[in-house]
Amino acid sequence: MTNVVQIVAVAVSASLLVTVIDLVHRRRLREEYAFVWLIGALGLLGLAVWRNSLDLVARWLGVYYPPAVLLLAVILAVFIVSLYFSVVISKQRQQIERLVEELALLEADVRASRTVASTNVVPNAAGERQQAAGDAHLG
C-alpha cells in the first residue's frame, strides 16, 4: 500500500518537473519564473523518494502529525510564490505606466511634426504652381 502511494507521489512530482522543463523548452515559461516551480517540484520529488524525511523534520520541530508539516511547507511556499508574483506585477505595472506615458508623449510629438509637415507642404505646392505658371509664360 505504502509502495503504491510512493510510486504515485514520485510519478506526479516527476511529471510536474518534466512539465516545467517542457514549458521552458517551448518558451511558454521564462527561466526566471521557472526556477520557483523547479525548486518546488524538486522538493516534492525529494519528499516522495525519501519519505522518512517528513517524519524526521516533524520530530525535530516537535509536530505530532507529520503530514501537518507538509501542509505548512506547502502553504509557506505558496505564500512566498504569490508574494514574488506581486512584486513582479508591481514592476510590470510601473513599466506599463512608463510606456503609456511615453506613448502619449510620442503621439503628441508625431502630431506636432505632422502639423508642421502639412503647413510646409502648402506653400511649397503653391510655389511649384507659380513656377510652372512662370515657365509656361516663358514658353
Partner 1 sequence: MSDAGVSFVVPVFNGRRHLRRVLAAIGREAAGRPFEVLVVDDGSSDGSAEVPLKLRDPDLRAAIRLMCGPGRGAAAAINMGIQDARFPIVAQVDQDVVVQRGWLEPLLRALDDPTVAAAQGRYLVPPGAGLWSRMSGRDLDLRYSSLGSVDTDHVCTGNTIYRKSALHLVNLFNEQLGYGYDNDLSYRLRAHGYRLVICREAGAYHYWRDSFAGYLSHQFGVAFGRLDVVNAHPRRMTGDAVSGALMLLHAPLMLAAIAAVVLAAASAAVGVHVAAGVCGALAATLLTFLVSERCAAGVKAWRLTTDRAALFFPVAHLARDAVWAYALVAWMWRTIAHGGTKPTDSMPRRAPDVAGESRVVDSKVLVLIPAFNEAENLPLVIADLRLHCPSADVLIINDASTDATHALLPGLGTAWLTLPERLGIGGALRAGLKYARRHGYNLVARMDGDGQHSAGDLARLMAPVRSGRADAASGSRYLRGVNAPGARGLAQRALALCLTALTGRTVTDPTSGLWMFGPRALHLLGDHHPGGYPEPELRLLLARHQLAVREVPIRARQRHAGRTSLTPARALVAFARTSLAVLVTPLRRRLRSAGD
Q: What is the CA radius of gyration of the chain?
A: 33
Q: Which of 96, 110, 121, 126 binds partner 1 (CB under 8 A)?
A: 96
Contact 62, 72 (CB under 8 A): no
In whole angstroms, the minimum distance from the beta carbon of 108 to partner 1 comes to 5
Burial class (CB in 10 A: 0-12, 13-18, 19+), 44: buried
Among 104, 110, 125, 126, binds partner 1 (CB under 8 A): 104
Residue from 7, 78, 103, 125 touching partner 1 (CB under 8 A): that is 103
**Taking CA 14 as the corner, what is the angle to CA 13 and CA 17, rounded to the nearest 5 degrees?**
90
Among 22, 55, 101, 128, binds partner 1 (CB under 8 A): 101
Q: Which stretch binds partner 1 (CB under 8 A): 3-11, 23-31, 94-102, 126-134?
A: 94-102
Q: Is 36:84 a contact under the CB 8 Å cutoff?
A: yes
8-16, 17-25, 40-48, 96-104 -> range binding partner 1 (CB under 8 A): 96-104
- φ/ψ region of 27 (left if φ > 0, alpha if ψ in -120 to 50, else beta) reads left
Residues at the contact surface with partner 1, assessed by CB under 8 A:
96-97, 100-101, 103-105, 107-108
